[in-house]
Structure 1
């Protein structure tokens, strides 16, 4: 095949002789899932930091997540079209280059101390990650038998959680270590100097990440990974089995799965975004920002542990049942965090991460089942649903501004209730 990347095509259906190719591809993809998790979790450190630097309220601070996850809503469908045209591997390379550019823009944003420029950099970074999600997630589900797709994607997502577990320590060390609090009696000159000093603390971390993205783009442009092709036989079989379905939108389990991903990502991001502020409340733990940031690792670390466990469990128990059970436990823990105080509330909300663990890969895998030639379109739709991470945190921020952080956790509770429904009923495929 002529083009930027030289690749050897392999058919969609897995054969024994392809096992080594598939294992190699899955192993290399773990690095991508790691860095996606790392970058996403850094937002949880960036939010309280920039909130302090620019004296923002909760709603304004949540614009960070709005711009970051808003990119998924605006660019996922075009990304799906691009991946369908160029292939999964080329999509991965392009996504890494775009994300690297977004990280590099943090340097001028900090230099001129501009919150809008920070938001623009986050949007570009997230655009790259959107394309990466659209490329990598369906690629993993198709590198092997359909029956174990959820388990396979959950295992790769475990490395995403490894990134989210390490990111808080990285962010606390390089961003929050020297943070100071705005003094209301500061002169204009002192405030300008304070903002410049604090904003510059993000330059080094994001330049390092820009370099990492560039390195990964170079590596993936040189690798020879298997090409997954929708064979004509598969296309014909799918259309003859369900001739009326000419679009992914006509698959009920996909549409309900997109809603499930919307509320799941929204709940996960909203909880993570408020952890530092929640643990800083006097009636919860009264922790300083740098100390609270380290506890975020328990939230994301729980997700990592849960994904390794879930990958094994779902080889024996139907994925839908595991999803419903996990969402039930997450809802109960959020309810405990709302109704209690002190360390009980703190550890309850942190423990939600353990049960969040398998939700994204499981919902994604269940939703793209038997889409056949509509898989790329379905992947784009599902990644568009990640925009829930932009909308629900902002809504929770507005609720926190008018009530309290604790009461605002009612929104994630409602989200988990819907996921219980999807696991038990919504994921069923109806011809």
Structure 2
């Protein structure tokens, strides 16, 4: 339940929704900058696909390393203070980009990404259960879907902002165009590219600090779950361990695979586009995010009027498997799919394999908002630790893209998308049965 010191009544949800919505926009923007940052640093630091994906690995592995420690911090200082702390940590990571860019030191970029990921860990560990518990349980998926629209809308905007403020006159740059330059000119241009990171990341750091101060002194009510009863076991006794909740543990596995395929769809589309010589490859993540926004919107419209969340999860995972199977077989010389879908609008079309990768965003959209309320159902006093485990599942965004990088370097970037098929298969299992298992 939600309590404050001044009133015994449950506060309205509008203010918390506005504040949490702002946070979801922030960590959506920060997270999906990776889609542009990975191919950018591949150029600046002369990296292979596997090395470039260490940027994603260092970012998402922070969720594994820091989630449980952050859950203890969360219980100690409260949800509101934890969110402010998260924003300060993200700002610190942004500041580290300055010496990393100045010295073009890839290791320092890795450290900066880990610090940013650590800040996002506590921010998400606090904000997601807050969103579930701030209102009625039956509408939790709707609230998370609304946040998802803000999150993925920020993800759509992030590569555009990156291209505008970081790349500037180098907006059309690619791995091939840099490689074609004479050595001296190439070194100068790489240095200019690295320096272009400094002002935008310092600006983000200042904005995040101001937001942290505003949140700390806001009237956001504290969340207190210590008095909630946890789900009972088969003998009617309260459960004594977080591991006694199958819907949570299976939900963690489902989110592990989901975040992995989500990051692959968003962060590798630029690498795939660069390999195929697509102009403006560093901004291709916006296409994936656009289709995720469409997916979230469809979820809001369809659930529960025409489909329940289990049915939409099943359709989403099936679509993901179909697209992953199709990507290597479509012609990179043809733009027929994008011409049919949006070519008539005048928006730049894409080769068919890149379009299919972007469409993975549509398949991925509904998973996160559906799994969270299903996995946290009945946890009571275990909610903070359950949330930490779900946040740890974001490690899928570190591990699976690295596996993707190894496969891409060995068998080709388009063939690597086949590895997502079993991931969608487990999400399908969770939608059909896993979320309904309440006892081992």
- CA distance 1:292–1:196, shift in 2 (3 Å): closer
Match of 1:363 among 366, 371, 377: 371
Of stretches 252-261 and 235-244 in structure 1, the one that deviates more from structure 2 is 235-244
Residues 236-267 of structure 1: CA distance to partner in whole angstroms, max 9, x if unpaired? 77589852621222111111110111111111
Match of 1:229 among 200, 221, 224: 224
- Please show how residues 234-383 of structure 1 align to structure 2 within 5 Å: 234-235=228-229, 242-243=236-237, 245-282=239-276, 286-288=277-279, 291-316=280-305, 317-342=307-332, 343-383=351-391
- CA distance 1:295–1:62, shift in 2 (3 Å): closer
- Please show how residues 118-197 of structure 1 align to structure 2 within 5 Å: 118-177=109-168, 178=170, 179=173, 181-183=177-179, 186-187=182-183, 192-197=187-192
Q: Kindly indicate whether residue 106 of structure 2 is the aligned counterpart of residue 115 of structure 1.
A: yes
Question: Does the Cα contact within 8 Å between 1:158 and 1:307 map onto a contact in 2?
Answer: yes
Residues 137-174 of structure 1: CA distance to partner in whole angstroms, max 9, x if unpaired? 00000011111111211211210011001011111122
Q: Kindly indicate whether residue 215 of structure 2 is the aligned counterpart of residue 220 of structure 1.
A: yes
Question: Does the Cα contact within 8 Å between 1:89 and 1:220 map onto a contact in 2?
Answer: yes
For the residue of structure 2 that corresponds to 1:226, the secondary structure is: coil
Shift of 1:122: 0.7
Cα distance in 2 for partners of 1:62, 1:309 equals 31
CA-based RMSD of the aligned residues comes to 2.2
Question: Does the Cα contact within 8 Å between 2:226 and 2:380 map onto a contact in 1?
Answer: no
Cα distance in 2 for partners of 1:86, 1:225 equals 14
TM-score, with normalisation over the residues of structure 2? 0.88
Cα distance in 2 for partners of 1:389, 1:95 equals 19
Aligned residues: 413
Shift of 1:416: 1.1
| Residue number in structure 2 paired with 1:202 | 197
For the residue of structure 2 that corresponds to 1:243, the secondary structure is: coil
Shift of 1:331: 1.6
Cα distance in 2 for partners of 1:144, 1:9 equals 19
Q: Kindly indicate whether residue 94 of structure 2 is the aligned counterpart of residue 98 of structure 1.
A: no
Shift of 1:271: 2.0
Question: Does the Cα contact within 8 Å between 2:232 and 2:238 map onto a contact in 1?
Answer: no
| Residue number in structure 2 paired with 1:385 | 393
- CA distance 1:111–1:241, shift in 2 (3 Å): farther
- CA distance 1:128–1:365, shift in 2 (3 Å): same
- CA distance 1:417–1:10, shift in 2 (3 Å): farther
Residues 160-201 of structure 1: CA distance to partner in whole angstroms, max 9, x if unpaired? 0110010111111223341464447855x6665444222112
For the residue of structure 1 that corresponds to 2:240, the secondary structure is: coil
Cα distance in 2 for partners of 1:69, 1:279 equals 23
Residues 5-48 of structure 1: CA distance to partner in whole angstroms, max 9, x if unpaired? x954777xxxxx636x2121112211110111111111111111
Question: Does the Cα contact within 8 Å between 1:169 and 1:293 map onto a contact in 2?
Answer: no
- CA distance 1:333–1:257, shift in 2 (3 Å): same
Shift of 1:109: 0.9
| Residue number in structure 1 paired with 2:30 | 39
Cα distance in 2 for partners of 1:99, 1:68 equals 11
Q: Kindly indicate whether residue 429 of structure 2 is the aligned counterpart of residue 416 of structure 1.
A: no
TM-score, with normalisation over the residues of structure 1? 0.90
For the residue of structure 2 that corresponds to 1:409, the secondary structure is: helix
Question: Does the Cα contact within 8 Å between 1:8 and 1:227 map onto a contact in 2?
Answer: no
Question: Does the Cα contact within 8 Å between 1:92 and 1:136 map onto a contact in 2?
Answer: yes
Question: Does the Cα contact within 8 Å between 2:44 and 2:104 map onto a contact in 1?
Answer: no
Q: Where do 5+ consecutive residues of structure 1 fail to align?
A: 1-5, 12-16
| Residue number in structure 1 paired with 2:64 | 73
- CA distance 1:174–1:401, shift in 2 (3 Å): same
Cα distance in 1 for partners of 2:202, 2:230 equals 48
- CA distance 1:327–1:368, shift in 2 (3 Å): same
Cα distance in 2 for partners of 1:24, 1:100 equals 24
Q: Where do 5+ consecutive residues of structure 2 fail to align?
A: 333-350
- CA distance 1:244–1:109, shift in 2 (3 Å): same
Match of 1:398 among 402, 406, 421: 406
